[in-house]
Amino acid sequence: MPFPNYPLHQGHHTREITWGDVYWFDFERPVSNQYTVARARPTLVLSDCKRVLRHTVTVTPLSGLEHRKPNYAFHVPVLVADYPALDKDSIVKIDQLYCINRDDLIDEHYITTFTPQTMRVIYAQLVRALYFQGVQYV
């Protein structure tokens, strides 16, 4: 799905946002010096909106599959063959996490929802990205 011709951050909020949803989101200005995502792009909702702060959601951007680094586990591919609403084969950049205002995810920018199977692959790599060797977890 190409970028919608609808003003970002303005629209309806009737959909219940949930983990696995993919929306267009405008990163509009660099966040934490992350200039590579300072524009509108699809973004994946990682947090369960029923369990986190009311107006906050954790997301990670998607980028074109052509940007995948060879042998880099933290770029998880998602294909148009599996998700026809995507405009191209993509990668989920789980090494770049952001907390955003969930009101910025509007119905008009909803793209698709990833299956639980796809989310398991993404979360497995996310856990690897966040793992610190030698730290024992309670």
Write down the mean pLDDT value for the chain.
83
Residue 129, pLDDT above cutoff 70: yes
Q: How confident is the model at residue 4 (pLDDT cuts 50, 70, 90)?
A: low
Q: What is the pLDDT of residue 12?
A: 77
Residue 138, pLDDT above cutoff 60: no
For residues 12 and 107, the answer to whether their CB atoms sit within 8 Å is yes
Helix (H) or strand (E) holding 93: strand 90-93
Radius of gyration for the alpha carbons in the chain, expressed in angstroms and rounded: 15
For residues 30 and 38, the answer to whether their CB atoms sit within 8 Å is yes
User: What's the CA gap between 122 and 58, in Å, rounded?
Assistant: 14
Residue 8, pLDDT above cutoff 60: no
Helix (H) or strand (E) holding 125: helix 116-130
User: What's the CA gap between 19 and 50, in Å, rounded?
Assistant: 10
Options 2.30.30.110, 3.30.1330.40, 2.70.70.10, 3.40.50.2000; CATH for 21-130 is 2.30.30.110
The full 3-state SS of 5-33, as one line of letters, equals: CCCCCCCCCCCCCCCCEEEEEECCCCCCC
Residues 69-94 have a mean pLDDT of 93
Residues 118-128 have a mean pLDDT of 91
Residue 137, pLDDT above cutoff 60: no
Q: pLDDT digits over 15-53, tens only?
A: 888 999 999 988 776 555 555 566 788 999 998 777 667
Q: How confident is the model at residue 132 (pLDDT cuts 50, 70, 90)?
A: low
